[in-house]
Structure 1
Amino acid sequence: MPDHVEVMEIDELPSTSLTKVREFFAQDDCDICNSPAATLHYGAMTCGSCKVFFLRTSMAKRVFLCDKGGRCEYPRDRCRACRFQKCLKMGMNPEAVGRRKQLIASAKENEEDQLPDLSIVPYFTEKSAARSRSYHLEAKKFDNPTKIVSHLLGIERFCDNEDTGKYSSYENFDFTLDVDLSEALQFPGKICRRTPIGFSSGLQICAKDPSSLFRQLYCRLTLHMLDWVVSLDEIWMMSEKDRVRLISRQAANCVVLTMAYNTYRFDASGVLFCHGFQLEKTLGDSPEFVFITADLKRAIIANDFSTVMVDFAHSQLLSVFREIHLSPEEYVLLKCISFFTTVGHLSDEATEIVRNARRRYEYLLAKHIEEERPNFSPTARAIRVMKILGLLPKIMKMAIFDDQYLAKMAALDLQGMRGRITRDFHLSD
């Protein structure tokens, strides 16, 4: 335990077994056949068998027919047509097959050429662009990604809201969980005040009542995520149903990546939360506590959940950030790519928008690296792109664990976490 601390015990936080949660990070079930030990392949968490099936079917452009007219339930019904359709439904992308190998091969063939375009088709066809006249970052503007990246960095600064000044106390911090996600997308500020996010600042006490601490921190991070996501033009090209479903499923990716990147940015020992708080490993045999340093410079949320999150973030994400010296520009593009990755159960129109957006931001990442590192060979640039994209399954895994923990808190109303917004994010199908 750190010296000179005030200790506030939080009895209601759910206790977890470190062995069990570490086992969670060791494997996932396949989205297609429910087999264990799945990893990210072509946009979904799949086992090796389903990966190979999708790879061969996509490369051979085979067409299977279902004897029951597409009414099978794979894997109970061993139907190849319905198996492939389930692959597509869960977000697997045929256009991603062989993309990375082609990228390296093309770069090696001609070291003097620029980094090959990651896209296979134009990012937004005339049909998809016509869905929203508000869409203003069209493919014709891709020749100057600098302005787009600068725009994304500006959005991140707006979400942080650090320019409004730093405060030592938010005793009148207004917040609520009783806002539907659809309403929050129209009026994000209903969730809470846009205080400075406080990743780098000293501790900012949110209220006199420590029992509401977790809810307040959750609300501020949720507002940060919503302010960011509503700035993406692509989500407004979708129907409201698809928009809500996409955001509810992908929000955790954005939140954990934001926390991890700012932890790297400010070289914190735990994982930065907001308002000066951070997750840290459980200290010795301590139960679940919040430690607040006497000089109000640091606060620690310590429990089994935070221990596993810190271990995973530092070993799997921050180690790569440090190795490649991830830049702010690469971070905001990775955040966009992560948001538009592996989402099933959307309409065909929304699925097309998500896939196009994923290719678009991958392209912008490649172009940014090409412009910012002119001394790199095309092969070196391609490898850097792949290292950054290789972070996606790790972000997803950390996000799934975070989402499951918060779902438990919301379902059991631990720390008062039951509300309409937590229901929509963590408990809805």
Structure 2
Amino acid sequence: MRPEESWSHVGLVQRKEADSVSNKSINTDEEDGGLQICRVCGDKANGYHFNVMTCEGCKGFFRRAMKRNVRLRCPFRKGTCEITRKTRRQCQACRLRKCLESGMKKEMIMSDAAVEQRRALIKRKRREKTEVPAPGGQGLTEEQQALIQELMDAQMKTFDTTFSHFKDFRLRGEDGSIWNYQPPSKSDGKEIIPLLPHLADVSTYMFKGVINFAKVISYFRDLPIEDQISLLKGATFEMCILRFNTMFDTETGTWECGRLAYCFEDPDGGFQKLLLDPMMKLHCMLKKLQLHKEEYVLMQAISLFSPDRPGVVQRGVVDQLQERFALTLKAYIECSRPYPAHRFLFLKIMAVLTELRSINVQQTQQLLRIQDTHPFATPLMQELLSSTDG
């Protein structure tokens, strides 16, 4: 750092010396780590300015004198006036001479523009260190705030977290029969195959909520109906997983769905290894991020507006929309999360979305195999399974 405009970290104490002091006393005081005084007038110094330890007054005088570029004359015609705190205003010529003799350098004076720029930079850095932005507002553009609000409203209207309207459960037996079924409060891996039809109903209930979520979003409604269908076929599973994660308890490994709870344990390892393990790892990884509700809905939007889904025609439009949601997520994190603890959160979320895409393909393949031997899927679920990526 250049010394001319900086402040030294020196303890300032009350001045006790006389106004006029010798160079010897100045050097002794500084070497002893005591009072720091101006090399020009002997006043209390506040830092190095233009290469010399000076007071604020001599700093300003030297800058003004050098910028005026006027030849000064000693009014007493001596040229050797003693410069002290009390006499420094009496002779500008001798004061300037003392400044130069002390080692102050004209070439170290910053321009007015550079000084203002430096001050603004210092203020900004101080503000960044001390201010803690309020979540979800400061730092976001009006458009981004409106976008998040629209997503939050859509989520609230379409996500029944209590499952209060999920009342009729169906269980399909191997003989094709269907009957009403009230599932146990908790389900483990031993019952997983018989429970698949019920889990299909649970999933279908969530699918309908996700589809309604998409239809509420104005950006989605503006797309051609063909692209709407293609995007939903590709993203519905992924968006449901994101919603299910909000109800997942990592300590118990349980999904709390209103009055129902699901805790899958498969001691035989077969079904769990194929279907549950990757899903459990994803849910645990995602839950560790401790996401805000705003971040969950933005993730759903990023997943929904994926331009590379099969059948999408207006890929350029969808790509721009996905970028808008991604930039909004990044901006939200930056203005609502403390730095640097969450500086990599955006990258972690994008990595989770990539992993989610991969698991979606793997799960679809596994469920199709199970569907061949143990039919369980609802018509909506069959349509989604038959058209997911992969």
Give the alignment's TM-score, normalised by structure 1: 0.46
Where does the alignment leave 5 or more consecutive residues of structure 1 unmatched? 1-109, 115-140, 177-200, 286-302
> Cα deviations across residues 152-171 of structure 1 (Å, max 9, x unaligned)?
233223323357x858x93x
Residue of structure 2 aligned with 1:281, choices 244, 254, 265: 265
1:387 aligns to 2:372 (yes or no): no
Compared CA separation, residues 362 and 428, structure 1 to 2 (3 A): closer
The residue number in structure 1 matching 2:160 is 161
Q: Percent identity?
A: 13
Q: How does 1:282-361 map to 2 (within 5 A)?
A: 282=266, 284-285=267-268, 304-322=270-288, 324-341=289-306, 343-348=308-313, 350-361=314-325
Tell me how far apart the structure 1 counterparts of residues 309 and 200 of structure 2 sit (CA, whole Å).
29
> Equivalent residue for 1:404?
365
Supply the distance in 1 between the matched residues of 2:154 and 2:226 (Cα, whole angstroms): 25
Distance 1:173 1:236, change over 3 A: same
Q: Give the 5 Å matches for 1:14-413.
A: 142-143=141-142, 145-162=144-161, 166=164, 170=167, 172=168, 212-264=197-249, 267-270=251-254, 276-278=260-262, 280-282=264-266, 284-285=267-268, 304-322=270-288, 324-341=289-306, 343-348=308-313, 350-373=314-337, 375-376=338-339, 382-410=343-371, 412=372
Other structure's SS at 1:331 match: helix
Assess, with a 3 A threshold, how the Cα gap between structure 1 residues 166 and 344 changes in structure 2: closer, same or farther: closer
Name the Cα RMSD after superposition: 4.0
Corresponding residue number in structure 1 for 2:90? none
Cα 1:228/1:317, change in 2 over 3 Å: same
* CA deviation string 1:74-108 (max 9, x = no partner): xxxxxxxxxxxxxxxxxxxxxxxxxxxxxxxxxxx
Deviation for aligned residue 1:113:
11
Shift of 1:395: 1.0
Between the aligned partners of 1:403 and 1:111, the Cα distance in structure 2 is 50
SS in 2 for 1:390: helix
CA distance in 2, matches of 1:238, 1:262: 31
Distance of aligned partners of 1:213 and 1:148 in 2 relative to their CA distance in 1, 3 Å threshold: same
Cα offset, 1:314, TM superposition: 4.0
Shift of the 262–220 alpha-carbon distance from structure 1 to 2, 3 Å rule, reads: same
Partner of 1:187: none
Instruction: Quote the Cα distance in structure 1 between the aligned partners of 2:270 and 2:368.
Output: 16
C-alpha distance in structure 1 between counterparts of 2:297 and 2:160, whole Å: 16
Judged with a 3 Å threshold, the aligned counterparts in structure 2 of structure 1 residues 341 and 245 are, in CA distance, closer, same or farther, namely closer
| CA positional deviation for 1:320 | 4.7
Alpha-carbon distance change, 415 to 111 in structure 1, aligned in 2, over 3 angstroms:
farther
Given candidates 363, 374, 390, the residue that maps to 1:414 is 374
Contact 1:279–1:310 (Cα < 8 Å) also in 2: no
Q: What is aligned with 2:114?
A: none
Q: Bigger relative contact order, structure 1 or 2, given CA contacts below 8 A and separation 6+?
A: 1
Alpha carbons 1:215, 1:416 under 8 Å: kept: yes
SS in 2 for 1:368: helix
Distance 1:214 1:386, change over 3 A: closer
Match of 2:248, SS state, is: helix
Q: Does residue 427 of the first structure (1) align with residue 375 of the second (2)?
A: no
Query: Structure 1 residues 381 and 218, CA, compared in 2 at 3 Å: closer, same or farther?
Result: closer
Report the Cα offset of residue 304 of structure 1: 3.7
Tell me which amino acid in the other structure corresponds to 1:315.
K
What amino acid maps onto 2:243 in structure 1? T
CA drift of 1:202 comes to 5.9
SS at match of 1:326: coil
> Shift of residue 359 of structure 1?
0.8
- Alpha-carbon distance, 1:248 to partner: 0.7
Q: Provide closer, same or farther for how the CA distance between residues 223 and 347 of structure 1 changes in structure 2, counting only shifts above 3 A.
A: closer
Relative to structure 1, is the Cα distance of residues 220 and 329 closer, same or farther in structure 2, using a 3 angstrom cutoff? same
1:225-244 Cα offsets, whole Å, 9 max, x none, are: 21222222233222222221
Q: Deviations over 1:113-158 (max 9, x none)?
A: 99xxxxxxxxxxxxxxxxxxxxxxxxxx943534432432332233
How many Å apart are 1:254 and its aligned residue?
Answer: 0.9
| CA distance, structure 2, for counterparts of residue 230 and residue 253 of structure 1 | 17
1:220 is displaced (CA, Å) by: 1.1
The letter for the 2-side match of 1:158 is K
Contact 2:248 2:256 in 1 (8 A): yes
Distance 2:254 2:210 in 1: 21
Deviation (angstroms), 1:417: 2.3
Question: Partner amino acid for 2:325?
Answer: Y
Distance 1:274 1:406 in 2: 25
Q: Secondary structure at the match of 2:216?
A: coil
Say if 1:409 and 1:417, in contact at 8 Å, map to a contact too. Answer: no
| Distance in structure 1 (CA, Å) of the matches to 2:125 and 2:300 | 29
Residue-pair matches, total? 238
Which residue number corresponds to residue 61 of structure 1? none
Following TM superposition, by how much is the alpha carbon of 1:317 offset from its aligned partner in structure 2, in angstroms? 4.4
Secondary structure of 1:376 counterpart = coil
1:152 and 1:333 map into 2 onto residues whose CA distance is: 7
CA contact (8 A) 2:244 2:255 kept: yes
Q: Distance in 1 between matches of 2:211 and 2:227?
A: 16
Report which of the two structures shows the higher radius of gyration computed on alpha carbons. 2
